[in-house]
Structure 1
């Protein structure tokens, strides 16, 4: 009987009542285990690594037959990287169930699903404040005082959540940075100097100055942000990115898995970065001017089309901006040449309209009263909040969520700062969908993965001919073509020389090939009919068979035979 290791059962959600309404990571992984047990011929579960605290990183494999899973082109789904999105684990597990209902897709493809790639962030201790949502449990001396994790964020006013503190008119050694936004006073903004605005508040993460160094909650519990620890554009000066690339067991486990599974032809990552709702800018480069930040211009059309597909399937219209530097998705795309799509899975919903003022139908009406047409008043338009996205979340909280997403600013006497107000958005409110949304999102994820499988590269040998041009000399011509919609490699991967090439090989000994290469390496084919032509002149007896092979590691080898002028094209692929 397959069982989730006991250590995983320690995973649970924080005590914040809003977050606790979401399906727990433990429950989701237990459900995944049940799904595997009920589908043992088509599903398996294994551990591919462990987190810094020893929590297992689980892999679920889906295929028509798990025995032959590694012989097919594969698609990878990864979630659970971001602690502020615990529902991503439940979404992936629900998508597993949907994929198992697609036998035709499983017949041709294998799906690798890693539902919880960063288990430490879901431990009760670490899932507390927005700033630490993605860090594992590795102790880090962030303030370089020789002590570790001694000054964490805390729920000091015991309201069940860690939010923010604002200090009115702080002293000169702690200058103010924000003021209440005139467009929405519950939100704070930096001053607009063109409007003669002045800062009056200093902001802090809710907590104490436990080590009496004058700083508040500056050395929290953990750690390294796993989704900043990968090689591509690794932000070396970001203190949460790790001491070096792939310094963490979680990131090492993911990279090792990808390198050991060369048949992966596409991936979807559910996390904090999005490249589907809005196609990334394909023109922006790094400081060298050579490396694209998020997307090469040669790949932009592919992402635009797949983004359209995701928006249509999910209905998601909004996403939050996020720097992808050092992320797992960016590494897969740029360093492995794998078309990798990333989604936050859920964006801000539209708030319900403000209800109209009620009209009293019983109020008496004087029929003799003259009707006077009043000149319409032209009220001054209300000032827009500086952060319209935050204002939209606040409106949705007020009108559709009974105000539960935002804790009002409440006075509190801080032991070192003195009088402060504590309040703000609850942890996860703006990132994790309500439980009622999970079925819809998981359906969209499964449908998107299915569409990705349908659009996968399809390599074939075609237009093979052999013609006698002189006694004992044959002219052989052939083409390899990609009839799938996706390219065999991203343009970024082609630039980095990282993907598995297509290798075309003729069995004729080199000294009998008068023209053409015995072995040709093709670095990739574009999608929707991308092709490459070949021509050889070979000296061979008419009765001697020649084998022509085209090998692409994700799908296998296509083998044709040539005997004299007779050619036989491959009827199946050799895994």
Structure 2
């Protein structure tokens, strides 16, 4: 056991202490290192899980898992910690033992330590961080904050004849949009709990959020079809302008052994795949088939459907989302990457928005709102919603405070549900990681008169090919593997090359990708294996080395 409390949201110091303890207690299985430092001085930690006694983590095909790119989506960080705990606790089980024997899992639990710490401590939403963007100076308006000392930032509702909101006649806690035919009040204005800047308070429009000056979105800052702020809200001043996003990309570009990835977000209960800006017809057939196959596996394990961002998850169908990590990972790095939107409160409440994934924000009815609050009353013990109570606001006079405790009801699940809600997704990532290439290098020597034939057999026992995606080959995102021979003293090369390009090897996915039925399968040329031959003369040692972007480094020492 690793000592993890799987039903707890960890602050940065607690998370750091847990990761250091794991690295200390399991030195042969877990290595901890930082890939960067946040502007507030916090480390961006990564744990490398593999059997470190049999090889270096960077020399093996690898899987990447991260969480907490967005500050308030702390459930992703919890899923990462559950991953570490599950792998180490179940190390001897067949799947994990085989996986850790020759592959690596990199886990980055908290990409955004500064923003997440603010959310966890203040219980207040911020998209990524509290850095000023796009305005260099604060936007005057409402500054959300706890004004009644209960350590919560909820909502304020104020009766007003010109208010845009009304209460439900079936449950006065529920706020509904006012319609043109609604003539009988009371009507309300709704604000986040907080205080107004004095200038804003005198403005009859009462500008809403000073928080608009903290509009950076890390998941619009990656260098995949990045566009500036005027086109893509939250994009930042230029690609990878933020130390956190740059740290992730720098690490991956220096560790090209990563072939597949999962980035955890919340909330919709859906698995997203590329593309985000174009239709499936633009994706190579093999890549699309692989994405869909593992998408089905995800749905079997989690209940979450796998959908194309472009076809099914655009906020505006005429405005693709760009600068996204998953898109960069597939289109510019060459890995199979998914975004998991953990947690689906409306599904828990019995509402069905499948096929209309963004409809929850746009198409909710009064009955939907009532179902949600009834679910909160029954399943969350009322912890998801704070009943409205009167309060004397220092600026506005008599108001009511209350509303959804959004952080642990909508944005994330309650802490007590964490393990049950994240473990199915963890199991899916292990299945996905199990598809990585499994390169094998065998070298034999054969006497040939006064010379020796050295025969290297290269084989891929894995599901994915050594290039991972077809797009990676098409766009030259992976180089050709290299095969090298290093001659010891007394050994002379007579035929063959000391250094040459080797071919990419298929995985067994490409044996079955045309049909998943064996009924009509009549065999296919095996491209998962290749042989290379050298002739040498003399006596001594010789090293054969096979290395490539997605396979790492394999080598064999033989005596001639």
Asked if TM exceeds 0.5, the reply is yes
Alignment of 1:44-443 (within 5 A): 44-65=31-52, 68-100=56-88, 101-103=90-92, 104=97, 105-124=99-118, 128=122, 131-132=125-126, 134-140=127-133, 142=135, 146-147=137-138, 152-169=143-160, 177-180=164-167, 186-189=174-177, 191=179, 196=181, 201-213=188-200, 214=203, 215-219=207-211, 222=214, 224-234=216-226, 236-237=228-229, 238-272=232-266, 277-278=270-271, 280=273, 285=277, 299-314=287-302, 325-348=322-345, 385-386=364-365, 392-412=371-391, 414=393, 420-428=399-407, 429-441=409-421, 443=423
In the alignment, the residues of structure 2 paired with residue 69 and residue 278 of structure 1 have an alpha-carbon distance, to the nearest angstrom, of: 28
Provide structure 1 residue ranges, at least 5 long, that are not aligned to the other structure. 1-19, 354-383, 463-477, 560-569
Alpha-carbon contact 1:316-1:346 (below 8 Å) kept: no
3-state DSSP of counterpart to 1:344 = strand
Task: Return closer, same or farther for 1:390/1:551 CA change in 2, 3 Å cut-off.
Answer: farther
3-state DSSP of counterpart to 1:452 = helix
Task: Return closer, same or farther for 1:161/1:501 CA change in 2, 3 Å cut-off.
Answer: farther
Task: Return closer, same or farther for 1:216/1:149 CA change in 2, 3 Å cut-off.
Answer: closer
Task: Return closer, same or farther for 1:558/1:327 CA change in 2, 3 Å cut-off.
Answer: same
Task: Return closer, same or farther for 1:130/1:485 CA change in 2, 3 Å cut-off.
Answer: farther
Task: Return closer, same or farther for 1:558/1:31 CA change in 2, 3 Å cut-off.
Answer: closer
In the alignment, the residues of structure 2 paired with residue 396 and residue 160 of structure 1 have an alpha-carbon distance, to the nearest angstrom, of: 24
Match of 2:462 in 1: 484
Alpha-carbon contact 1:397-1:404 (below 8 Å) kept: yes
Structure 1, 328-337 or 259-268: larger mean CA deviation: 328-337
CA apart distance, 1:38: 0.8
Structure 1, 337-346 or 105-114: larger mean CA deviation: 337-346
Alpha-carbon contact 1:339-1:490 (below 8 Å) kept: yes
Alpha-carbon contact 2:224-2:331 (below 8 Å) kept: yes
Of residues 480, 495, 499 in structure 1, which corresponds to 2:478?
499
Task: Return closer, same or farther for 1:291/1:522 CA change in 2, 3 Å cut-off.
Answer: farther
CA apart distance, 1:61: 1.6
In the alignment, the residues of structure 2 paired with residue 412 and residue 259 of structure 1 have an alpha-carbon distance, to the nearest angstrom, of: 54
Alpha-carbon contact 2:271-2:341 (below 8 Å) kept: no
3-state DSSP of counterpart to 1:208 = strand
CA apart distance, 1:118: 0.7
3-state DSSP of counterpart to 2:377 = helix
In the alignment, the residues of structure 2 paired with residue 520 and residue 505 of structure 1 have an alpha-carbon distance, to the nearest angstrom, of: 9
Alpha-carbon contact 1:502-1:524 (below 8 Å) kept: no
3-state DSSP of counterpart to 1:78 = strand
CA apart distance, 1:392: 4.6
Alpha-carbon contact 2:505-2:528 (below 8 Å) kept: no
Aligned residues: 487
3-state DSSP of counterpart to 2:194 = coil
CA apart distance, 1:184: 6.6
3-state DSSP of counterpart to 1:230 = coil
TM-score (norm 2): 0.69
3-state DSSP of counterpart to 1:256 = helix
Q: Which has the larger radius of gyration?
A: 1
Task: Return closer, same or farther for 1:385/1:181 CA change in 2, 3 Å cut-off.
Answer: farther
Cα deviations by residue, 1:453-509 (Å, 9 ceiling, x for unpaired):
3211345799xxxxxxxxxxxxxxx998865333533355455432344468999xx
Task: Return closer, same or farther for 1:418/1:69 CA change in 2, 3 Å cut-off.
Answer: same
